[in-house]
Structure 1
Amino acid sequence: MMGIREDMPLLARHEGVWDGTYTYYNAEGVQVDQHSSRLLCRFVEGEHPYHQTNHYTWPDGRTEIREFPAAYRDKRVWWDNELIKGSAWEVGQDDKARTVMLTWERTGDPELYLYEMIQLADDGQTRCRTWHWIRSGKLETRTAIEERLVTCDWRKVEAEMAAGG
């Protein structure tokens, strides 16, 4: 039986620490928010073999941390937590092996769903992501995310962060 790394080799290339910027636009294309991010994308043993931790920082000093442990089955990672329910998969028809797709719903808001496309650069050092937030069949928000790989060694960064570094 193959595992998540073997079944999803493109997703496995995302393992590591990514720094970036999230920019949100309303349906009319007006920027409504922007903040920086640090994401730890981890592959681990156990019930949730993919685990992503998102650290957000706004210009006014606000911060937020969100945890996204995911199960794995059927060549997809699956989330089901207090914030989202959905899945991610690699786009098999992408001859260049650059594209991962996600879809999820916000827990407690059944009229809102999102689609995300992630494009990993061929050198694996940068990626861009776009989210389309759709409410009742109509575009509500777009999110554009640009990120760069800081390190593949998420364990070291996680330990430094835990130690207050």
Structure 2
Amino acid sequence: MGIKEDMPLLARHEGVWDGTYAYFNAQNEKIDEHASRLICRFPDSGDIPYHQTNHYKWADGKTEIREFPAEYRDKRVWWDNDLIKGWAAEVPLDEYNRTVMLYWQRQGDPSLYLYEQIQISDDGQNRCRTWHWIRNGLLETRTAIQETFVTRDWRTIEAEMEA
């Protein structure tokens, strides 16, 4: 079996998502916010079974693009790149099949790790994600992300963005 067959919940996330990231410090004060467009894809060929590209845009015009190619094994997606090292897995205890959990560390900073929970709506049109950034066992930052599904046709959107 392949990644989409082994991880059908994650396969529901394939496509383009637009959203907003809001960051809060440990005192619950908003410290950052930006818009996003994520392209979540399962390439038809090649050595990368899952690849996510995150496009960020701040109100002041700043932009950033981050690439997250991943491996697949043991019913998990695995990242190990210049920015992060970690995994994503479906949560089998969720009988509603809505929850994906991620764990990762920033490369070069072993005192900081992050857990992310992703909830997809039953109709697949919305999802919310929550990150807990933990440093030395204490909450440092929370990230709340609201996203709306744009299209499953990531290939066309990707081509338009590259043009």
Normalising by the smaller structure, the TM-score range is over 0.9
Corresponding letter in the other structure for 2:121: A
Residue 26 (1) aligns with residue 19 (2): no
Give the structure 2 partner of residue 85 of structure 1.
85
Measure the CA separation in 1 of the matches of 2:82 and 2:60: 26
Aligned to 1:36: 35
What count of residue pairs does the alignment treat as equivalent? Answer: 162
Deviations 1:124-157 (A, max 9, x none): 0000000000000000000000000000000000
Q: TM-score, normalization: structure 1?
A: 0.97
SS at match of 1:145: strand
Deviation, structure 1 residue 46: 2.6
Q: Tell me how far apart the structure 1 counterparts of residues 46 and 12 of structure 2 sit (CA, whole Å).
A: 20
1:47 offset after TM fit, Å?
A: 2.0
| 1:41 alignment partner, SS class | strand
One-letter amino acid of the structure 2 residue matched with residue 115 of structure 1? Y
Q: Which residue of 1 aligns with 2:124?
A: 124
Percent of aligned positions that are identical = 73
Distance 1:40 1:99 in 2: 19
Q: Which residue identity does 2:144 align to in structure 1? A: A
Output aligned runs, 1:40-55, within 5 Å: 40-44=39-43, 45-55=45-55
Q: Residue 159 of structure 1 aligns to a residue in which SS?
A: helix
RMSD value, Cα: 0.5
Q: After superposition, give the CA deviation of every residue in 1:91-116 in whole Å (9 maximum; x if it has no partner).
A: 00110000000000000100000000
C-alpha deviation, 1:162, in angstroms: 1.1
Moved over 6 A (4+): none
Deviation digits for residues 73-100 of structure 1 (CA, Å, limit 9, x no counterpart): 0000000000000000000011000000
TM-score by length of 2: 0.99
Q: Which amino acid aligns with 2:7?
A: M
Segments of structure 1 that go 5 or more residues without pairing to the other structure are none
Q: Which runs of 5+ in 2 are unaligned?
A: none
Show the counterpart of 2:151. Answer: 151
Q: For 2:75 and 2:33, how far apart are their aligned partners in 1?
A: 33
- Quote the residue 1:8 is aligned against: 7
The residue type paired with residue 142 of structure 1 is R
